[in-house]
Structures are given as C-alpha cells and as structure tokens.
Chains A and B, each alone.
With several copies, the nearest count.
Chain A
Amino acid sequence: MEFWTTSLGLAKMRPMPNALADGYENFVRDAVRAEGLGFDGYGSGEHHFMYDEFMPIPLQAVAAVAAVTSKIRLCTNAMLLPLYDPIEAAEMAATLDVLSGGRVSLGLGMGYRPYEFDGFDTAKRTRGARLREAMEVIRLATSRESFSYQGKHYQYENESLHPRSIQRPIDQWFCGGTSLQGARRAGAAGLGYWLANSPYDHTEDIVKEYRQAGAEAGFDESQLRVASFKDVCIGNTMEEAEALRQMLIDGFYDEHILGYGYLVDENGQSLYSPSREHPLYRRFTQSLYCGTIETVVEELKRYEKLGMDMVFLPSQQQELIAKEILPEFK
C-alpha cells in the first residue's frame, strides 16, 4: 500500500495569513522532505476564484516539485477536469510527465462549487459525464500515436498529442467523493477509484460496490484499483488526537465543508451552511480518524486488508507518521 501526502501553503488562510510566494516555497520544501521521509506521492488540489488565492492549476504546483525531487509521484488531488478542455489537460499532464520522467498521477474530480463552472463557461449539470469522457480522451491521447473519439461532449478525429508522455497511458484516478454512484461508474469504466475521507464502514461499502461494478463490466481485478484520502490525527491520548482534529476543523475544514456545497444529500442536493448537527457533516468529521499510534496503525491495516492501493495522508504530523507508521507497511 502506498502513502501519498500534501502540504499547506498553496493559499492564504484566514487563521494563519502568509505571503503566497512563501507558501509556494514551503510547499516545494515540504515535498522534498516528504520524499526523504519515504512518502510515495505528493499532490495539490484545485479551486478557482478564491478569496484565499487557492492553487488553481495543480499540475503547475507539482511541476515545481518535479524540479527538486526524483522519485515521489506528482499527483493532483483533485484536478477538476470538467473545467479544462480535455486536450489542454492532456498536454499539461504530458508536459509534466516528460519533465518528471513519468511521475504524474492524475486524481480527477468533477468539482462542485457553482461559480467555478460559471467562471469557465461550462455547465455544472453535465460535469459527471464530461469527467468520464475527458478521462477516456486523456487515456487515448497518452497511449496512442493518434486517436479518434466520438463522445457526447467531446469529439476528435485523428488527433495526436505532443510530447509523447513517458507513461503509456498516464496514471489516472477517478475521485468520486463518497458516493456509491460514483464508485459504480468508475468500476463500470475500469477506472481507479479514489475515495474522499469517509469512515471505514462506508469505505468498505464503496469498495465492494466498485469491485462488483468492475467485475460486471468484465475488468480483471488487477485493473481495479482503489485509494482513499484518510486524514488521521495522532495523539498520546484520544483527547490529544481529538484536539488536533478540532483544530483542523476550526481552522480549515468547516469553511470548506459547510460553505461551498461540498456535502450532497441523498437527493443529490448540495448542502450550503447546514447545521453542525447534520448527519452528513457529522459523518465527515468522524471520518477524520483520531487515535494513538497503535490504533492508527490498526485502522490503516484494515485499509490494507481491504486491498487499498494507496492512502492519502494529511499534511500534518508527517515526521511522526514516517517514523512510526510507514515502517509498519514496508
């Protein structure tokens, strides 16, 4: 099981305002450290038109990392593919794949914030279908000398991509949040599935659903890969761990989880500013796993047993994680 991670710095956060260029520098510095600590991948997320100047082009963020690292995979977590022209995205990925010697892993999501779609002049309604089509376009573009594609949203005739990516095709993951529907779609298309933070039981359900859909579509088990974001908060005691989680929630997650329609109810409706008692919000905060070193290892062993190919760990406590947890999985 691989461990990927990220770091802060690609935005100016309210509780800890910083100079953006310093943050970018720290992001790169932390990547070098993460590589040295034995992490297997390092990534950047994506948002647009943000007051806090959040990173809008994650492949550029990891391009900077590529220049000063040699082994760590360079990932997007997630890149919002419906906000790109698929060839534009493939060109970015291939450019970085050449520069990095084949280290690109695209974590691709469909996005959720309404004004992002409005800013890119593209419909939020069709984002799921466009994500799947665009992933197929990228697969073709980075594995064939030339290709044609006739989708509902994208069509190409004898298209070739330059430069030729090193990976054939470039590694792609479908970031489908925590929805069963997403898992079924990814399985049916044979795409690697990367879950958002969720409690273990829900994770187990999703992975089952994904594998079943994949098997039904005729994909071999080896083609069906799963990964998960997994924030962990480690303390000497449970109280310490929970205090750390609360800090993460207060300082970062509340704004992003409550404010922008990230949570989606059973009817597919985005929730804006729901109460902190809302079950979906509670499920999210519970998914930020609290424990001691021992229990965190135990929890991650469950993920390993589930056949998880990769777990994406949080930006904090990396030295502790590298020293105490990663060795248990080598």
Chain B
Amino acid sequence: MRVGLSWDLDRFEDASAGWQEVISEVVEADRMGFHSFWIHEGRERPADCPMPSVFLTYLSRKTQSGQLRIAGRRVTHALAPHIVEEVSVLDNFSRGRAGLAFAPASRQGVVPGHVHEMIDFVTSSWATDEMRFRGEHIRFPAHTPDEAPAGASVPDVEGDYVPQWEWGPEMPDFLSITPKPYVPHTPVHVEIDDDETLEWAAQQGISPMVGADMPTEQAARRLARYREIADEAGRSRREIEAVLERRVVLDGETDECTLGGSPRDVLNAIRDLRGKTGISHFVWRRGGATPMDLYRFASEVQVLLQA
C-alpha cells in the first residue's frame, strides 16, 4: 500500500511562507519514503495553488522518489491540450513520477460528462500519436468535422510521410500532442463524488479518489460501490489504484473525516478501510501537523502498511 501526503493550502495566510513550509515537508517526507505528494488546485484563498503542475515541476528537482500528483484538477481553467502537456512535461522532468487527479464535476459547476470527456481526451492523447477528438466539450483540432467519429480517432491509412516542416499553411486533420509522458501508464484519478462519475470510472477502469472532506463512512461506502461496479465490469484490482485521502491527528480525536488515536490505532483504521474498500493508496491531508508527527507516522504507520 502506498502512503502519500497532501496539504490544506487554504490554511496559510501567505503563499510564500506557507508554500515554503510545504516544500520543507516534501523534502523530508521524500527522504522518509512517503510515496506521493499531492498538490490540490485552488484559487479562492491567498495561499491556494491554481497551477499544481508548476508547483510539482519545481518539486521534481527537490525530490528523488515520491510520485508528484496534480490533484483536484478542473476542466475549465486551462485549455484542454495544456492539461495533456503539463502532465507529460512533469513526467519527463520527474522521470515518471507524474499523476493527475480530477476534481468532481459538482465542485466545478460542470456536468459530469465534461470531466469524463476530458479524461478520455487526456489519456487518449498520451497513448496515440496523430489524433483527433470530437466530443461535446472538446474538439481537437478545431476544424474536426461533425462527421468525425465520437471521441478519439486516429488516421486509418497512412500514406507517404510528410514532415511537419513541409506542411506549409495546411492544417492537418490529426495532430500529436507532445511530449509524451516518460512512462507508458500515467496514473489518472477522478474524485467519485457524483454517482454518474463513480459508475463511469468503475466501468472505464479510471482509478477513484475520495478527498479529505467526505466523511469516512460515506467514503468507504462509495469506494466499496466503485469496487462492486468495477468487478461487474471485469475491471480487476490490478488495474485500479484506489486512493483515499484523510486527515490524521496522532494522539488526537477521531471524527467524521479524521483518523485519530495512537499510531497503532491509525494503522488499524487504515487497514480496516483497506479491507472494506480495496484502497491501495492512502493520502494524509496535512493540516498543521508537526515534523515530529511526520517521522512518527513514517516509522510507525507508513512502513508497517507495506505488509
């Protein structure tokens, strides 16, 4: 089981100071073997990070091993090809440590289908060379006709190769979004807050994520429901990396969204949730814990979760 960290950036009053604290923690946690670092997209509060890809590319040179995951990505705040590109660039700078998780449609004020279409577009772009895409929300390239097949399609017949520098003013019907990611299978997640997305993701084999603000019981129910549908659809566990994000307070109280108690209590609670839901990646949403907590969690919870 992988164990990672994310942060409540909105608790900082000042981005410079707050982000420096996060960076220091990432550097420490990377050395201690935490498997992933998630920066959530946000733009409401002074220290929110609207562009996690930039933050994580910066972190790619401060870390060696941890996965660098863009979290809560929204579909309307960047042009679609940029989302494809930003992850590939991050993946090459970090040599295969990039990942991308989308925010639920409900938090973005868009229909779930818009998020699904974006995921289809992004993952198809990584997996193909020249491609076009006809969706309800995304059309790539722009002149793709209504007659093009729905979703991603690739040229049927390939004639004599015409290099780009000989294209002239032509706008070809298919384009390759580059660069490609460093590794063949970049992790993609979506938060399964709405039923439509939960079902779609389970059928498509897109990995689910549940964020820190959904109560633990509800989170467990939704992840279990995802697992059921995925099983029915023939999507086995090995395809899926189910992620649960929780707040943790060592020696503190357990509440609706927080795991508390001794390290052993937290360990048992996470194992219990794993049994109920099939999660394979736990993310600790940090909200003011101390470096000492980080070490205790690393040596008394994280290491032991591996077996």
Q: A and B from one assembly?
A: yes
Contact partner of A56 among B43, B89, B140, B165, CB < 8 A? B89
* Structural contact, A60 and B86, CB atoms closer than 8 A: yes
- Taking CB as reference atom, which chain A residue is nearest B300? A14
Q: Mark A22-34 against chain B: 1 for CB-CB distance below 8 A, else 0.
A: 1010001000000
Determine whether the beta carbon of A95 is less than 8 Å from that of B51: yes
Contact flags (1/0) for A47-74 with B, using CB distance below 8 Å? 0111111111101110110111000000
Interface string of B1-25 (1 = CB under 8 A from A): 0000000000000011001000000
**A60–B79 CB distance below 8 A:** no
Across the interface, B303 reaches (CB within 8 A) one of A12, A24, A48, A162, namely A12
Given known pairs A21-B64, A91-B50, A119-B141, the reply for A163 and B82 (CB within 8 Å) is no
Contact flag A91-B164 (CB < 8 Å), given A48-B81, A162-B50: no
For chain B, the count of residues having a C-beta within 8 Å of the partner chain is: 73
Say yes or no: is B46 at the interface (Cβ < 8 Å to chain A). Answer: yes
Distance in angstroms between the alpha carbons of A54 and B306 in the assembled complex: 11
Q: Are A21 and B178 in contact (CB under 8 A)?
A: no
Chain B residues lying within 8 Å of A218, measured Cβ to Cβ, are: none
A313: Cβ under 8 A from any B Cβ = no
Stretch from A81-89, A176-184, A287-295, A320-328 that touches the partner? A81-89
* A24 and B54 contact, CB distance less than 8 A: no
> B179 touches which one: A20, A101, A119, A122 (CB < 8 A)?
A20
B19, B44, B60, B61, most chain A CB atoms within 10 A: B61
Residues of B within 8 A of A272 (CB): 168-169
Query: Is A264 an interface position by the 8 A CB rule?
Result: no
Q: How far is the CA of A273 from the CA of B166 in the complex (A)?
A: 7
Given contacts A52-B306, A88-B82, A96-B54, whether A19 and B66 have CB atoms under 8 Å apart is: yes
Taking a contact as CB atoms under 8 Å apart, the answer to whether B178 and A50 are in contact is yes
Among the listed B30, B59, B92, B167, which residue makes an inter-chain contact with A20, where contact means beta carbons less than 8 Å apart? Answer: B92
Contact assessment for B55 and A118 in the assembled complex, using a CB-CB cutoff below 8 Å: no
Which of these binds chain B: A188-196, A252-260, A278-286? Answer: A252-260
B298 contacts across to A, CB distance below 8 A: 17
B75-122 contacts to A (CB < 8 Å): 77-79, 81-82, 85-86, 89-90, 92-93, 95
The reply on A297 being an interface residue by CB < 8 A is no
The answer to whether B165 and A259 touch across the interface, beta carbons within 8 angstroms, is yes
In the bound complex, how far is the Cα of B306 from the Cα of A52, in angstroms?
A: 7
The number of residue pairs between A and B whose CB atoms lie closer than 8 Å in the complex comes to 219
Shortest distance between the CB of B34 and any CB in chain A (Å): 8
The answer, among A64, A256, A259, for a CB contact under 8 Å with B58, is A64
Minimum Cβ distance to chain B for residue A106 (Å): 13
Q: Kindly state whether residue A115 has any CB partner on chain B within 8 Å.
A: yes
Please judge, given known A-B contacts A22-B31, A50-B307, whether A114 and B177 are in contact too, CB under 8 Å: no
- Residue pair B177, A121 in contact (C-beta under 8 Å): no
Contact of A53 among B42, B50, B51, B179 (CB under 8 A): B179
Q: Which of A21, A64, A101, A164 contacts B46 (CB 8 A)?
A: A164
Contacts of B33 in A (CB 8 A): 12, 17-20, 22
CA distance A121 to B42 in the complex (A): 25
Give the chain A neighbours of B180 by CB distance below 8 A: 53
- The CA of A20 and the CA of B42, in the complex, are separated in Å by 30
A270 at the interface (CB under 8 A from B): yes
Q: Which residues of A contact B169 (CB under 8 A)?
A: 114, 261, 270, 272
A95 to B306 Cα, complex, angstroms? 31
Q: How far is the CA of A255 from the CA of B165 in the complex (A)?
A: 6
Contact A83 B61 (CB under 8 A): no
The docked-state distance in angstroms from the alpha carbon of A83 to that of B113 is 25
CB of A259 to closest CB in B, whole Å: 3
Q: Return the CB mask of B282-307 against A: 1 if under 8 Å, else 0.
A: 00000000000001001110111011
Residues of B within 8 A of A56 (CB): 81-82, 85, 89, 178-179
Determine whether the beta carbon of B299 is less than 8 Å from that of A17: yes
Cα-based distance from A21 to B61 in the complex (angstroms) = 13
A15 in the interface (beta carbon within 8 A): yes
Cβ distance A278 to chain B, nearest Cβ, rounded Å: 15
Q: Which of B57, B64, B299 has the most CB of A within 10 A?
A: B57
Residues in chain A within 8 A of chain B (CB atoms): 12-22, 24, 28, 48-57, 59-61, 63-64, 66-68, 83-85, 87-88, 91-92, 94-96, 98-99, 101, 114-115, 117-122, 161-164, 166, 255-256, 258-261, 270, 272-273
17 residue pairs bridging A and B, Cβ less than 8 Å apart = A14-B304, A17-B298, A19-B30, A24-B93, A28-B93, A48-B177, A52-B303, A54-B178, A60-B93, A61-B89, A63-B58, A98-B19, A101-B16, A114-B170, A260-B164, A260-B165, A270-B169
Interface residues of B (CB under 8 A from A): 15-16, 19, 30-34, 42-51, 53-55, 57-62, 64-66, 77-79, 81-82, 85-86, 89-90, 92-93, 95, 139-143, 163-172, 175-180, 182, 295, 298-300, 302-304, 306-307
